Structure 1
């Protein structure tokens, strides 16, 4: 049993501890509630930390890359004939460039999306 006397204060978690808890919660098959219980925090706190650190990325890891010469076996690359492009200027000042053969439904949907943005 824990007895708290006086005013309960907020706990301060260092970023390293937060990231460690987030890494633990991100493991496959792990439930946030279980991790929160182990660390005596509310599951919503883990979700808030996720939002806060969403811009944080782990140190970059590099994968091995092998450069290979491109081999042309005498075949000409398949080239498509250039389709005419239509540029549409909308009321909100934005523009849209689309192929001239675009279906009307798709064009209407694209225009609605660009106007709403």
Structure 2
């Protein structure tokens, strides 16, 4: 005859205290210990340990931005800031020649330079 299990009553969720959860997590975090083994010893599902791990993790809060202020180190002399290096653009023309001009060069000046180099 087959075995039958009769449940007489309402199955209730177990409530774990914070200390009990932290003890189980500490046990699961030991080197060489598998979460499945710890879960079997405490008669819980391994996913429950993973969920508790997320819940009690210091990184579980949503990422946030913090204000940052840059300060100079005390006692160091500040060197004067060097002017930013000018940006140049290299233009290759149809005749195989090229121009290297500053990026902020006016359009009219650039057009006349290109015309001169192409004509030469």
TM-score by length of 2: 0.44
Bigger Rg over Cα: 2
